[in-house]
Amino acid sequence: MTQVPVAPAGEKLTPTAKRAIVGAFLGFGIDFYDIYLPAVALAPALIYFIPDNLPVAAASTLNFLVFAATLIGRPIGAVIFGHFGDVLGRQRSARIAIGGFALFTFLIAVLPGYATWGYASIGLMIALRLVDGIFMGGEYTSANPLAMEATPKRLRGLVAGVIQAAYPIGYVAIAISVSIILAFLPATDLRSPYVQWGWRIPFVFGAVLAAVFLFAWVRVGESELWQGERTKKAPLAELFSNRRHLRVLAQIFLMMSGLWLGVELLSSSAPTILEKFLHGSDQGVTNGLIVANVILAAAFVTMAWLGQRFGRRRMLIISGAMTLVGGGVFYYLMVVSGQNKEPLVVTLVFYTIALAFVIGPWGIVTSYINERFPTAIRASGYGVGYSLAVIIPSFFSFYLLWLAHLMPYVYTPLVLLVIAGLLTAIGAWIGPETRHVDLESIPSSGDEKA
């Protein structure tokens, strides 16, 4: 009788590891649910916070600032909570971050509007979203390294992809919940139910989700690897003063700049182009985005498996080419289909394929970055490496406006997709392969061995 090979004890998922993985997945999903609250839930009710005679360009800029404030807060949170994660522990740091974004998401839900506080209402909204973003950045900066340190090497890549798949699932959850609310509470004008109070429901729900998750997170144990190598030193000082770590950080920053730029173009810019320039119906585009993000979740897991099977570095280099060629071609087909007034479903199919090509490679990111830093500074290295590169791509809308002086606006993302693909491929190419790395054996100083 043929015996089924049994994985060594160190290669199995322990109950502690399973709790850490589930915790990281749920935390990441709630994180992204909260991130998209302004873009999805608040957008139909933005007039509640601004005067109704404000020019469209000014209103759009304020809406952009509300969303951008969250993105800018994330790298700040990564720096702060990366330090806490390395010094106080992954579990305790994540607990503080989860409680923080539960509180500030709820505070946003009870904000008064322009009629009560004037421009101070939108100003406070932006300020609260900035602080909210800081705590959101702290959540994954602590929870994801904890999950990676608890996961056996042979499963690390796939587990990281599953955790990353919580991002599109979080988007799907917010999109579906807002669609249901809008079906019962219209957002037709300033006095409509959704504008006056309905938009608060998703924010309250997001705060409640975070609060419930906070109590569940208590059951997640601390990283044994961190407990064995904890440090009282300043991890950020080590990260930025050590020449080896700086080289690693610079390489990751280059690669992540490309990946973040692709996310901004396909997740933030393309839906607006579909509605405003290609005249897709709001409901049709929303339903299409829900389906596209379900497929994107599968793309994350697929790319993670490919990275585990063929090498993370190799697949990230290929991912750059996928963004440059595949993402560019299918984005172009999306625009042409919309301009030719083909059925919206055809246009959305092209968009979905472009989305999978450009954003699917993120399934490799969590495992790759965690495998580049030693335990004593892993939370700081992962948090800064993952989040810092978001700042420059966050201002993509200004780059598109500048490019619009040279070409039709709907085609401007093609230029930035080329740049995104090149940055991703070059950044990955100058880095090493990591899938065989033992997290406990990464040196904290000295020359890096590829």
| pLDDT tens column, 51-99 | 887 776 677 677 778 877 888 898 999 999 999 999 999 999 999 999 9
Question: What is the tens place of the pLDDT at every residue in 400-427?
Answer: 889 989 999 889 999 999 999 999 999 9
As a whole number, mean pLDDT of residues 105-129 equals: 92
d(CA 70, CA 290): 22
The pLDDT, as a whole number, for residue 5 is 34
Q: Classify burial at 408, counting beta carbons within 10 Å of its beta carbon; exposed 0-12, middle 13-18, buried 19 or more.
A: exposed
Q: Does the fold of domain 232-444 match that of domain 14-220? A: yes
C-alpha 174: how far from its chain's center? Answer: 14
14-220 folds as Growth Hormone; Chain: A; (1.20.1250)
Global pTM reads 0.88
Does the pLDDT at position 17 exceed 50? Answer: yes
Report pLDDT for 232: 62
Name the DSSP letter for residue 323.
I
Q: Which amino acid is at 41?
A: A
Quote the pLDDT of residue 6: 31
Residue 317: C-alpha distances to residues 118, 173, 422 (Å): 50, 32, 9
State which amino acid sits at residue 47. I
| Domain topology for 232-444 | Growth Hormone; Chain: A; (1.20.1250)
Q: What are the extents of the domains in the chain?
A: 14-220, 232-444
